[in-house]
Amino acid sequence: MNPPPSRPDPDRLLAEVQAEEARQRRGRLKIFFGACPGVGKTYAMLQALHERRREGVAVCVGLVETHGRKETEALLEGLPVLPRKCIDYRGRSLPEFDLDAALASSAALIAVDELAHTNAPGSRHAKRWQDVEELLAAGIDVYTTLNVQHLESLHDVVAAISGVRVRETVPDRVFDAADEVTLIDLPAADLVQRLRAGKVYLPEVAQAAVERFFRPGNLIALRELALRRVADRVDVQMRALRVREDVAAVWPTRERLLVGIGSARDAPLVRAAALLASRLEAEWVAVHVDRLTSAEPHEPRDGVMRLLSEARRLGADVLTLAGDDVASLLARCARDRNANRIVLGAAHERRFAPPWRRDLARAVQRLAPEVDIVRIGDAASGPAGTGHTPAARRALAPAAADAARPRHPYAWAIAACALATAVAWPLAQVFDLANIVMVYLLAVVLVALRAGRLAGASAALLAVLCFDFFFVPPHLSFAVSDTQYLLTFALMLAVALIIGQLTARLRFAVLAMRQRERRSALLTRLANELSAALEAGRIVEIAEETLRAHFGVEITVCLPDEQHRLLPPPAGREVDVSIAQWVLDHGEPAGAGTGTLSASATRYLPLKAPMRVRGVLAVTARDTATWQHPEDMETLEACAGQVAVALERVHFVEVARNTLVQMEGERLRNTMLLTLSHDLRTPLAGILGTAELALQREIDSAVRPLLQGLIDQARAMQALLDNLLQLARLQSGAVRPDKQWHALEEIVASALQHTRSACARHRLDVQLPADLPLVEVDALLLERALVNLLDNACKHTPSGCTVSVSARLENDDTLRLDVADDGPGWPGDDPSRLFAPFQRGARESAVPGMGLGLALAERIAALHGGRLEARKREPHGSVFTLRLPHRPPPEEGSGA
C-alpha cells in the first residue's frame, strides 16, 4: 500500500502561488526548435501565427528571415509586419529588430525569428534573446526559432560533431524557461533533398553546404541531440510537477534505476547495474542503508564504502540512508527519484527474521507496486541494507572510529554480568529479587551503550541465566522450583532486550549526530578563518593546519606561479609535482583512490574556483581505507572548494591593489612628463634657434660640422620631447581627435618629409592606389603615428634596407596602412611588449631612443577606434599594420 499523503507545506504553497502570479504577468514564450537550418522552423512559426490570428489574437511579425524562400515569403501575406530599425555601423546601415516599436504596438503576440542572433553594435541589447526577454517582461507573448547548435551547453558538442563552431549562443536557462517548445523535425534524407532543390540555400551555396555541414552523419547526430534536449526538458518539467503536486507514485516516463547495495559482497551487483544502465541509457542511483538493528555488527563497512566509490566512478549518484525499514526507505527513495526500476541482489533468507521480512524484494514490491523489481545474481549478492551499523571507521576521523568499534564486545557482556552478580550478591540479603533484576538491567544498558546491539542482546541473555543460577531457589542451579519464575525470566529477557536495543539505537544516533556536527564545525571554522586571511601564504597555512588536525592526514597546498606552473613544495612533503601539475592543467583529481595514476600514495584534488583552478590540494594518508568513505571525501572536496574561493578572492584583491598602484604611478608619471616636456622645450628651442642662426653666418669650416651635429641632436631631443608630451596627453584623456576628411597621400607625404633625414640612407617604396578615397582622421595625429613608424623602421634596420609604405581598403569599412621593412626584425615572439611605453625591442640596443614611438602610434590608433598590429615578415623583416575604421566620404554639396 502507498504511504498516506503528507500535509502540504504552507510556505511552499505560498511560494507556488507567488510564482504563478509572476508567470501570469509575463508573456508566454514558444520556441520552434530544430536540429539545423532548413527543417521548417520559420514556416511552422508563421503557420501557428496565422492560426492564432484566426482565433482573434492581435499578432504581428517583429522580424522574420525568409532567406529568399518563396514558401516562407508567401506566409507573410496578410500578417502585419513591423518595419525594421536601421543602425549605422562603420558607414553601413544594418536592419535590426525594432524593440521599441514592438513594445509600443498593440500586438499581444509577436514573432521574432532567430533567437540566437547578435544585434548590431548600438542596439539596446547585445543579443536578440535579451530583446525577447524584455518583450516577455512587458506581458507580450513571443514566438521564436532556435537551432540545437546555438544552445550554450551543446555548443562544444555540436562543434566536435560538425567541425563548425558557431559564435551565437543562447543560455540554456532561456530555453528551459520557455512555456512551450515545439520540435520541428525532418529526416536527414528529406533535408538533403530540400537543400539540393534550393529550398534552404541558393543553388550555388547549397552544394557546398551539403559537402561541409549537412552530411548525413552530422544530421543524424544533430537530430538525436535535439530530441534528447527536448526530452530532458520534459523530464525536468515532469519532476517539478511531481514535487508541486505531491505525487507519490512513480511515473515511468524515463528509465531510471535505483540499485540497493547491502554489503561488500554486492560487487557483481554494482557491475551488473552499471551495464544495465548503459544498455538502457538510463540514470542510476546507488543506495546503501545503514540499519540500526543490523545482525552483522562486525562486517567491515570499508567494503561497502569501496563499492559506493566504484559505483560513483561508473556514473551513479550515491546515497547513504539510515533506518531499520530497508524496504520502506528504498520505496520512498524510488518515488523521490522517480526511479521506475529497483535493482537488488538475490536476497539471502534471513533465518531468524519474521516471514514477512525475509524477502526484501517482495516487501519493496508490496510498498511500491508501480516500480519494477530486478533481481541480479543468486550467490554473491546480499539484500540491500544488510550492512551493519556505522561502527568504527579507520578513516579521516580516528576518534569517532575508536568510540564506535569496541575491540571485544562479548567480553564486555561477560564482564558486566560478572560485575552485576558481584554487586547483587550482598544486596540479595537485604533487598527483594525484583531489585536484583534492576541491577542486571542496568548492566545490560551499559553494555549496549558501550559495545553495541549484539553485545547488549548477549548481556540480556547472560543476565537472565546469572539471575536464575545465583539468586532463584534452588541456588547455584538452573532448576526452577517455582514456575512463576519462568514468567519473570521471560519478562526480564524481553525488557533487557528492548532496553538494550533502544540504548544501542540511541548510541548510533548520537554517533551519527556527532559526525555531522564535526563536519559542520570544520566547514564553519575553516570558512571563518579563511575569510580573515589577506594573503595566499596565510590561506595555505590555515588550510594545512585545519585539515591536518581534523582528518589526521598530511596536507600540502601547491600554488602555481604567473606562468601557471606549480611552485616546488616544501622539503619533506610527499608530493609528485608532475601529477600535481596534471591535476592543475586538467582540473580533475588524480592519485590514490581515483582512476588516474592511482598507484600514487597521495591524492591530488584541484582547487577549483569560479574563474579557474587556483592550485592543488595534496592529501597523503597512511591508510588506504581513507579513500573508501564518500562522506569524508565529500567533506574534503567541500573544504578544497572553500580554499579555492579564498585564494581567488585574495588574487583579485591583489590585482585590484596592483591596478590602483599602477594607475597612481601612471598619473604621477604623466604629470612628471608634462612638467618636464614644458620645462625643457623652451631652453631647447633657444639652443636650436641659436645654432641655426650661427650656421647661417660665415664661420670656420671646422666649426660648421659641430654646429650641424648640435642641430641634429637638438631636433632629435625636440622630437623626443614632443613624443613625451603627446603620450602624456593621450594617456590623461585630454586629447580628442579632430577628425576631418583628408587625402591620405598628403598625410603620407608630410610624414616622409619629416623623416627625410632619418631615412636618408634607406630606400623608400610608397604604394598608394590612385583611387584611394578620402579618409576621416585627425591629420596631425595620424601624421605623428606615421612619423614614428617610419622612424622606428629606419632606426632599427641597417643602411640600404627598403622601407615600404602601402595602403588599401578592407571590406569597404577598414583602412589598412602598412609600414614594412626587410631588416633583421624584432626579437622575441611577443609583439605586445613592443607597444608598452619605455619598452624597446632589444634591451641592449645601441640605437638611441626611449621606446615611446610605437606606444604613441598604438594609442593614436586606439583614439581613432582602430588598432596597431605587428608581425614578422618572411624571410626577415617586420610589418606594422595600422587599421582604422572607414566610412564612405560625403558626396560633394551634401554638407556632411
User: What's the pLDDT tens digit per position in 744-755?
Assistant: 888 898 888 888
Please tell me whether the overall predicted TM-score, pTM, comes out greater than 0.75 for this model.
no
Lowest mean pLDDT segment, chosen from 78-82, 600-604, 605-609: 600-604
Grid cell, residue 76, equals 507573410
User: What's the pLDDT tens digit per position in 724-737?
Assistant: 666 666 666 666 77
User: pLDDT band at residue 59, thresholds of 50, 70 and 90?
Assistant: very high
Asked if the model's pLDDT at residue 861 lies above 80, the reply is: yes
One-letter amino acid of 585: D
Q: Where are the alpha helices (DSSP H) in 532-629?
A: 536-551, 577-586
Segment 82-110 mean pLDDT: 86
Of the segments 14-18, 208-212, 218-222, 882-886, which one has the largest average pLDDT value? Answer: 882-886
**552-565 as b/e: b if 16+ CB within 10 A:** bbbbbbbbbeeeee
The pLDDT of residue 891 is 64
User: What's the pLDDT tens digit per position in 711-720?
Assistant: 777 777 777 6
Grid cell, residue 875, equals 624571410
Closest CA to 639 of 511, 520, 534: 520
User: What's the pLDDT tens digit per position in 142-165?
Assistant: 999 998 888 887 777 777 776 777
Asked if the model's pLDDT at residue 707 lies above 60, the reply is: yes
Segment 685-704 mean pLDDT: 77
Q: Are strands 802-810 and 814-821 parallel, antiparallel or unpaired?
A: antiparallel
Asked if the model's pLDDT at residue 490 lies above 80, the reply is: no
Residues 6+ apart with CB under 8 A from 532: none
Segment 185-214 mean pLDDT: 60
Closest CA to 327 of 285, 284, 358: 358
Segment 60-75 mean pLDDT: 84
Asked if the model's pLDDT at residue 216 lies above 70, the reply is: no
Q: Are strands 29-34 and 180-184 parallel, antiparallel or unpaired?
A: parallel
The pLDDT of residue 351 is 42
Lowest mean pLDDT segment, chosen from 126-130, 132-136, 237-241: 237-241
User: pLDDT band at residue 390, thresholds of 50, 70 and 90?
Assistant: very low
User: pLDDT band at residue 399, thresholds of 50, 70 and 90?
Assistant: very low
Lowest mean pLDDT segment, chosen from 186-190, 537-541, 603-607: 186-190
Segment 367-371 mean pLDDT: 82
More confident residue, 10 or 272: 272
d(CA 447, CA 468): 20
The position carrying cell 525568409 is 66
User: What's the pLDDT tens digit per position in 761-784?
Assistant: 888 888 888 888 888 888 888 888
d(CA 272, CA 260): 12
Strand partners for 127: 118
d(CA 206, CA 214): 9
d(CA 549, CA 442): 37
Lowest mean pLDDT segment, chosen from 60-74, 424-438, 550-564, 825-839: 825-839
User: What's the pLDDT tens digit per position in 459-473?
Assistant: 777 877 887 778 777
One-letter amino acid of 30: K
The pLDDT of residue 132 is 92
Mean pLDDT, the chain, integer: 76
Residues 6+ apart with CB under 8 A from 107: 58, 59, 60, 80, 140
The pLDDT of residue 894 is 46
The pLDDT of residue 313 is 77
d(CA 835, CA 218): 45
Asked if the model's pLDDT at residue 439 lies above 90, the reply is: no
The pLDDT of residue 198 is 59
The pLDDT of residue 141 is 93
